[in-house]
Copies of this chain bind each other. A is one copy, B any other.
């Protein structure tokens, strides 16, 4: 399964450096890493010759503080991907409910453990919103695990806390664990009203998975963490984790994430992205060749109009010739055809993308070559 953001490979294929591609395929914050974070990372260089604390005590304390929960519930790891794979191996579910389309790494991790995966379709007719009532009806004693991404990738839909609690309650009754993936939660306005991390102690069947990759634009650093509702599972997870799985640069985030600067930065970025997203949405809505879907995250899901001469592959390759990389959604399980996803980037880059989409739109409407 391919993910977005592979600018190294694609740059090589078209003969340009990774920094020369305008990458709308990876959903990461397009603004510069905060100066204070970069300073912390630079400082961490002096610790490369010391083994990281195997207990990651200070890091876990900082993550607990950041997530408004207790240190005992925190397990840090080598990016969210590591946490996803480890938690699924630990739970080792026989049968899993997976609302789709969603982030493909869950399907990949469930395949490794051989879980029977039941897809619960989020329907295009409902703007890919999760039908909570229907989902609850379908969850029964036969399920060991339910995975929810909130907000979801690639659809951008958000589950309200009240709905989340209904789901958790039903799952608790039938003995089903619930993973809530909050990789994009910081981009949601008033995210404290939606996160389940701070509710972990209330739900013994809850595991929240988070990362700083997206909000601080640091996919190269690798820091993810789990927040466990169940203290026994939290302990098992910590024992199961490979020693020194967090490198010193990732560990150094402990000195930044609870600072005033960090919270100011997150607020500013999420507001800026929200504004930019609205501008993009408005412009794309005016194009007949595209349908744009409502999104609470830092990306937009877009459908290309039915047309025998134009498909998403053609749109992708036309854009790539202009060094614009978008995410073809054809390999997302449960995703109807003709969809692609674009990250919200800086104004100038967004304009470049929108102008290109407008050109494609006009070509399609005029049935010209694009």
Contacts and interface: CB of A to CB of B under 8 A. Distances in A.
B247 A82 contact: no
Contact of A51 (B48, B220, B243): B220
Contacts of A19: 50
Contact of A219 (B5, B218, B244): B244
B81 A78 contact: no
Contact of A50 (B18, B49, B53): B18
Interface stretch (A38-46, A116-124, A197-205, A346-354): A38-46
A250 B218 CA distance: 15
A51 B221 contact: no
A188 interface: no
A50 B55 CA distance: 28
A259 interface: no
Contact of A26 (B41, B51, B112, B220): B51
A33 interface: yes
A29 to B, nearest CB: 8
Question: How many copies altogether?
Answer: 2
Nearest to A84: B242
Contacts of A44: 220
A49 B245 contact: no
A335 interface: no
B220 A54 contact: no
Given A112-B240, A250-B247, A9 B50 contact: no
Nearest to A23: B50
A222 interface: yes
A72 B176 CA distance: 41
Contact of A82 (B38, B245, B250): B245
Given A7-B50, A52-B219, 19 more contacts: A5-B51, A8-B53, A9-B53, A26-B51, A38-B45, A41-B45, A42-B45, A47-B220, A48-B218, A48-B220, A51-B220, A78-B222, A78-B245, A79-B242, A81-B242, A82-B245, A112-B240, A222-B245, A222-B247
